[in-house]
């Protein structure tokens, strides 16, 4: 977890197989977090 701003270009270079949607901005509520985790596991 990080609270800093994301450099999307640098992130794509490091994690080219991940979509931007798998990164969650804070603050996040528990229901949304669980929903996102479930969607990544499916």
How many other C-beta atoms lie within 10 A of the C-beta of residue 23? 13
pTM of the model: 0.47
Cα dist from 5 to 11, 13, 28, 36, 42, whole Å: 11, 16, 15, 20, 28
What's the pLDDT tens digit per position in 1-42? Answer: 555 666 777 777 877 766 656 677 778 899 988 998 898 788
* Per-residue pLDDT at 21: 61
């Amino acid at each position: 977890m990080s609270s800093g701003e994301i450099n999307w270009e640098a992130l794509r270079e490091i994690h080219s197989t991940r979509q931007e949607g798998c990164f969650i901005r804070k603050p996040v509520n528990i229901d949304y977090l669980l929903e996102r985790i479930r969607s990544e596991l499916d």
